[in-house]
Structure 1
């Protein structure tokens, strides 16, 4: 993780970051902690337990903050309340920041999409963020911050990821509606749409597709880093973003501008 000292703009804040054992979620959790937030880190599998324990130790030693990990399956409707209960137990009744990061990618062309595949993708990528918001709202200390991680794929067609793209487009729709519904007390709701970012998820994409994306990226013809996405999420989590809501921010090095 980056050793650059962050301004302590989130001291006293409590944040939940789903799917934070690796990649973008891990970078977000560490960045928020580096700014003073106490962080609840969710992960789904036994193999992620050690990486999460290492991340918590790094947050405590380098970010000088606190974090807890909770293993759960966000495919299950009970998981969001389980996460909120763990946050309340660890850090008290208030929650300030929710980052919906956990997601799964699709790898099926239209003729291969089954109801089971659709359900798997949408349950994690769409239903889980909704249920997380519902579970957090009774504890949300206003003005709160709700931030979801989408994708440039929500706005451009790529072969074989239609269900994933559709799920991220649905998340954008929720973002705009939630911003209107929750904004009267100052709560903001936004989405960050990364372009190609070095991650385990990107490793599942055809290298030829990634090379093409690099060539279409104005900034240095490269993929982004998880830390670059975390910086944008941190801005949206901070008080200084109080006039930004209902937005889907393209974090893509110019690969997409919309």
Structure 2
């Protein structure tokens, strides 16, 4: 497939989980992919190796998204290897099941730094690099659609992305840039290690109308559509990719 031939994409948190699947899929569609990672260089190198083995192109960029100068550092690393951008996927995120009473100010600040502040400033500082007709895709979460008290603080960070998507779609429309949120449900990744418990996995599967837990590729395929020219008339949208969870 060559829908994205000649395009350059940046996927934050692109070395593992959903981000890895997105990196692989965009590369398969022809994009040259910048695979961002925070600390796991081995995972990033493996993702790049897998892309190249399949005939695609990719390179790594490292930046700690919790750092005060995260956006500047990431774009500096990107600029060393690319001269412009067509697709920005804000996928990187942190989280853990934690009820309201257990959330500390320190954890709250870190959550917002990585999940909301970093995407905001990556976009702000990346707009000069993003070509007209480009794509910004924020990876949200189904927990912004349903009440999920076990993840209140995390849900707030993803809700912020939904609002960011809406405002930016209006602002960037004149440049032909689309901005959308793709919201996964429960996906089998390292971040959801609790799914290793068979009873927990069965309960999680019951959320979806398909009675199964989602896979990273389920989300990556939706992102690939939103990134393509086929989605040129779609902007400012919350695209539910939860497998019909909690309908």
TM above 0.5: yes
What does residue 86 of structure 1 align with? 77
> How far does residue 160 in structure 1 lie from its aligned partner after superposition?
2.3
Kindly tell me the number of residue pairs found equivalent between the two proteins: 246
Whole-Å separation in 2 of the counterparts to 1:163 and 1:211:
25
Whole-Å separation in 2 of the counterparts to 1:203 and 1:13:
34
Whole-Å separation in 1 of the counterparts to 2:246 and 2:4:
30
> How far does residue 66 in structure 1 lie from its aligned partner after superposition?
1.6
Give TM-score scaled by structure 1 length.
Answer: 0.90
What does residue 55 of structure 1 align with? 47
Q: Aligned match of 1:77 in 57, 68, 72?
A: 68
Is residue 179 of structure 2 the alignment partner of residue 189 of structure 1? yes
Whole-Å separation in 1 of the counterparts to 2:100 and 2:221:
35
> How far does residue 204 in structure 1 lie from its aligned partner after superposition?
4.1
Contact 1:96–1:140, Cα closer than 8 Å, also in 2? yes
What does residue 23 of structure 1 align with? 17
> How far does residue 240 in structure 1 lie from its aligned partner after superposition?
1.3
> How far does residue 107 in structure 1 lie from its aligned partner after superposition?
3.0
Q: Aligned match of 1:8 in 2, 5, 14?
A: 2
| Alpha-carbon spacing, 1:209–1:161, altered in 2? closer, same or farther (3 Å) | farther
CA deviation map 1:50-100 (0-9, x unaligned): 1211111111121x22211122200113222222222222122x1100000
Whole-Å separation in 1 of the counterparts to 2:78 and 2:173:
24
Whole-Å separation in 2 of the counterparts to 1:67 and 1:152:
29
| Alpha-carbon spacing, 1:85–1:256, altered in 2? closer, same or farther (3 Å) | farther
Give TM-score scaled by structure 2 length.
Answer: 0.94
- What runs of 5+ residues in structure 1 fail to find an aligned partner? 1-6
Residues 176-215 of structure 1 aligned to structure 2 (within 5 Å): 176-204=166-194, 207=197, 210-215=201-206
Residues 137-176 of structure 1 aligned to structure 2 (within 5 Å): 137-176=127-166
SS of 1:86's partner is helix
SS of 1:11's partner is coil
What does residue 3 of structure 1 align with? none
> How far does residue 38 in structure 1 lie from its aligned partner after superposition?
0.8
- What's the RMSD between the two structures over aligned residues? 1.6
Whole-Å separation in 2 of the counterparts to 1:163 and 1:198:
21
